[in-house]
């Protein structure tokens, strides 16, 4: 998917992501947050209340639904189990502000 090095991409474009699993050592990586969307549905505006975090595969091992992460200065709750996307080099997970 990416011709460039993912570490360089996330270092340039990402924000620090910190996860402290219960009973485990803190894990950190860089990630991108895609903010919630606002869209029109018929005559009504609908606001999605979940964002999406993209981060390199092999990071945040064990991250699970209902865990909490910190992205920059914002705390989020994980809303689903992370999934691999595209060529398997990236992970995506739905998150919402805690």
Q: Is residue 92 part of a domain?
A: yes
Q: How many domains does the chain have?
A: 1
Q: Is residue 89 part of a domain?
A: yes
Domain of 73, in residue numbers: 6-97
Q: Is residue 1 part of a domain?
A: no
- Is the predicted pLDDT of residue 19 greater than 70, yes or no? yes
Distances (CA, A) of 37 to 9, 53, 72, 79: 24, 14, 20, 16
Can you give the pLDDT at residue 41?
A: 72
Q: What integer best gives the mean pLDDT of the chain?
A: 90
Q: Tell me the per-residue pLDDT of 40-87, one tens digit each, with 9 for 90 and over.
A: 777 777 777 789 999 999 999 999 999 999 999 999 999 999 999 988
Q: Is residue 69 part of a domain?
A: yes
Q: Is residue 20 part of a domain?
A: yes
In this structure, what CATH number is given to the domain that contains residue 13? 2.40.10
- Is the predicted pLDDT of residue 1 greater than 60, yes or no? no
- Is the predicted pLDDT of residue 10 greater than 70, yes or no? yes
């Amino acid at each position: 998917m990416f011709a460039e090095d993912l570490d360089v991409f996330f270092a340039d474009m990402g924000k620090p992501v910190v996860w402290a699993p219960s009973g485990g050592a803190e894990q950190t990586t860089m990630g991108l947050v895609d903010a919630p969307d606002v869209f029109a549905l018929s005559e009504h505006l609908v606001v999605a209340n979940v964002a999406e975090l993209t981060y390199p595969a092999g990071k945040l091992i064990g991250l699970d639904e209902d865990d909490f992460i910190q992205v920059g200065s914002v705390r989020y709750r994980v809303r689903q189990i992370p999934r691999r996307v595209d060529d398997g080099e990236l992970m995506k997970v739905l998150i919402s502000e805690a």
